[in-house]
Amino acid sequence: MSDFADSPAVRRLDDWDRERLESLAAEYDTPLYVMDLDRVKENYARFSTAFPDAHVMYAAKAHTGKAVLEAVLEVGGTIECAAWGELQRSIDAGADPNELQYTAVNPPDHDLDYATDLAADNPGLTITIGAMDTLERLAERGYDGRIAIRINPGIGTGHHEKVATGADAKFGIPYERVPEVADRVREDFDLVGLHAHAGSGVLTDGLEDHCRAISRIGEMARRVGDEDLEFVDVGGGYGVPYREDDEPLDLEKTSNMVREAVGDLDARLKLEPGRYVVADAGLILSEVNTIKEAPDTTVVGIDASLATLIRPAMFGSYHPMLNVSAPEREAHEVTVGGPVCTSADVFAHDRPIARPERGDVVAIGNAGSYGYELASQFHSQPRPAEVALEDGDARVVRRRETLADVTRVERESGQ
């Protein structure tokens, strides 16, 4: 693992092998997701090395592809899940159910049915609750096993208000109610930990607010008796630099600040990186199909869309872009958009890119996190293929959908 941990702290879009990317686009067509599993392993190992005494779990919601989960497990990782599908996919990838943690957020009945059935044969499974209702529903199902309480610290952090979960009433038990809930859990369940997640996409300059939330978690752990807890889970949210001039997360500083913020504990520290592990391990390859001169800009149409990558439309997110086919051309400021019929389907406005021409392959970087996970069939577009790179080889880990795949559930229902 030490070789992985010594890898560069950030992988820029320029660091990818352009000739390899062009060959992948030619062989597998576009739009195409590409995931570098070696980079996934490097990122997980580097993060774990920065927290040598902590338990580091990969947050599966960032990318639940089987190949990615297998890569995390290969380097000794465990997995945190937020839904029953993630539990099942983790098990399919080879995870021991006794090492999984399920963080329930307003869970539907089928989620709790699945989790409690799984725990009946795997008592090491941990269920994290964020509401008393969830505890009562678990009791109704005869569950009396391992429980962690999700705290709402009242402090949200991250790159966008829609991911600042620490200040959102949807997530976690209100801070001052935690001791009362802890007493209730201890009556009929095994209280093993406390959990919180302040937000997502935190870089070094956002650590102060992030650690203010973490300090509240540590305070509450001592208040409810951390000597009786197995762990204190401060969540994930650790970011990567999306813009070319942003600095990578300073892991040494992060580790020191997190440990100082949480304070002295008998319980073990637990963290849940997701984005940090997979974001810069993935990109999208897309082909230019339209060049249109408009009064105020040049519009470059590509075959990827918000159905392929919704983050720019949902969060206003910046993703680096590179003309893989001709990086030596003079850069022109262009607007890059896809084929979906909405003004939201734009990846970049006035972005300097080596002058695109029809047929060029464009790469969209940092797409490994919440990329394929949020892909859709909007406009009845089949979802793209995904290729994994590992040890110099490439293989398809998700085939490209066909139009028959898009309509299959209707046809199978007799429509």
Task: Give the pLDDT confidence score for residue 201 in this predicted structure.
Answer: 79
81 counts as catalytic: no
Task: Give the pLDDT confidence score for residue 415 in this predicted structure.
Answer: 65
Task: Give the pLDDT confidence score for residue 199 in this predicted structure.
Answer: 73
275 in a known ligand binding site: yes
Burial 131-166 (b: 16+ CB within 10 A, else e): beebbebbeeeebebbbbbbbbbbbbbbbeeebbbb
Q: In angstroms, rounded to a whole number, what is the distance separating the alpha carbons of residues 5 and 394?
A: 23
- Which residues does the chain have with pLDDT short of 50? 1-2, 156, 158-166
Residue with token string 């993703």: 319
Find, among 4, 10, 9, 2, the residue nearest to 244 by Cα: 10
Q: Which residues pair with 157 in a beta bridge?
A: 199
Task: Give the pLDDT confidence score for residue 4 in this predicted structure.
Answer: 75
**Token representation of residue 281:** 């391990």
The amino acid occupying position 413 is S
| Angle between helix 84-92 and 109-121 (nearest 10) | 40
Q: What pTM does this model have?
A: 0.94
Backbone angles phi, psi at 121, to 5 degrees: -105, -5
Task: Give the pLDDT confidence score for residue 3 in this predicted structure.
Answer: 63
What are the E-state strand segments in 188-263?
A: 190-195, 199-200, 231-233
- Name the region of 172 (left: φ>0; alpha: ψ -120 to 50; beta: rest): left
Q: In angstroms, rounded to a whole number, what is the distance separating the alpha carbons of residues 273 and 268?
A: 16
Task: Give the pLDDT confidence score for residue 155 in this predicted structure.
Answer: 63
Given the residues 169, 341, 404, 409, select the one marked as catalytic: 341
Q: In angstroms, rounded to a whole number, what is the distance separating the alpha carbons of residues 322 and 103?
A: 37
174 in a known ligand binding site: no
Q: Classify residue 60 by its DSSP letter.
A: G
58 in a known ligand binding site: no
287 in a known ligand binding site: no
Find, among 43, 66, 44, the residue nearest to 55 by Cα: 44
Q: What domains are there in the chain, each with its CATH number? A: 96-273 (3.20.20.10), 280-411 (2.40.37.10)
186 in a known ligand binding site: no
Task: Give the pLDDT confidence score for residue 166 in this predicted structure.
Answer: 42
Largest CA distance in the chain: 69
C-beta separation of 229 from 269 below 8 A: no
Strand 331-337 with 298-302, pairing: parallel
